[in-house]
Amino acid sequence: MVTSALGMGCMGLSQGYGPADEDESVRAIRRAAELGVTMFDTAMSYGQGNNERLIGRALAGLPWQAQVATKFGIVRDSGGVHLDGRPEHVRGYCEASLARLGVGVIDLYYLHRVDPQVPIADTIGAMAQLVTEGKIRHLGVSEVTPAQLEQAAAVHPISAVQFEWSLLWRDPEDDIIPAARRLGAGIVPYSPLGRGMLTATLTRDDIDGSDFRRGDPRFQGGDLDQNLARVAALRRVADGLGLTPAQLALAWLLAQGPDVVPIPGTRRLDRIEQNAAAAGAALSEAGLRRLDDAVPRAGWAGDRRSFAAVATSRRAGPAPAPPPHSTTAPGQRGK
């Protein structure tokens, strides 16, 4: 599967970072597309389906085709957050996403989280059937262990593995990245700017107003103080290279290999333009060494694993019925 060097993560257009204006979000998506971004990443759980509708609206009518990645497996409803990877529900989730996106086929369909009550091979088997039927082009998995990735790939080729990876959080380098490369899966880092930390623009209000930062140890107390000192060092290196801190953080990820496609997310047009420019910011070996000296892996504080796990109870009851018309309607964007 071939994509642009950078994709766009769209979760923050619907949840996690406070209210968003839909028209502003549509402009942001379309500007990213104009700048050459081809991959737009969403999920059925983002805004309880509203994010997929937003992506469908934004990409409809473009004079070129974009690629859409979406996910299933995390269910948000009145009962809270649940995981559901039951094979008998996969088709319904997929068809509901197709309808919300207004497309005939999903380019990349992820299992968002592994349901602990369902063998991952069973879930992937149901997804593979949808590839055979032409509803999905490629399969992906998100936040899996190397063993789970092996089990998934034994059933069907896995095109992409998604997980948090950035200068701020480098634990994936120890296990899942080598496993993905061994199996030939692309690497899709989400939160490549450390939930905004690596932009060097966050204020205390930004942290307090975000569900995705308030509970993160990296944004609290002494850990935050230590991380802000590292961000100041990042800024000094970026200034010396003529880049913004965010551009340097993205360029660092891109330098890790041609199989790495970060998906930064933002609502602001100026930051979309800055992020897109990072794709052309090739770092020399000397620049990479300078960055590693200034912001070494061991220099960051806080363990995101202590808050990152979602509820592991499987969703009770039947899956929601798919919409009555789940195929592409006339005038909508097909794939």
Query: Which positions are catalytic?
Result: 46
Number of neighbouring beta carbons within 10 Å of residue 309:
9
CA nearest to 275, candidates 250, 252, 298: 250
CA nearest to 140, candidates 122, 163, 164: 163
Whose tokens are 């609206």? That residue is: 57
> Contact 43/112 with Cβ under 8 angstroms?
yes
- DSSP H helices, 146-244, are 146-155, 176-183, 204-208, 211-214, 221-241
CA nearest to 144, candidates 170, 167, 110: 110
Question: What are the CA-CA distances from residue 152 to residues 138, 216, 256 (Å)?
Answer: 13, 30, 24
CB neighbour class for 65 (10 Å; exposed up to 12, middle 13-18, buried from 19): middle
CA nearest to 77, candidates 44, 105, 109: 44
Mutual angle of helices 221-241 and 285-294, in 10-degree steps: 150
- Phi/psi for 286 (5° steps) reads -65, -40
CB neighbour class for 13 (10 Å; exposed up to 12, middle 13-18, buried from 19): buried
The structure tokens listed for 51 are: 């994010």
Q: Which residues contact 286 (CB under 8 A, 6 or more apart)?
A: none
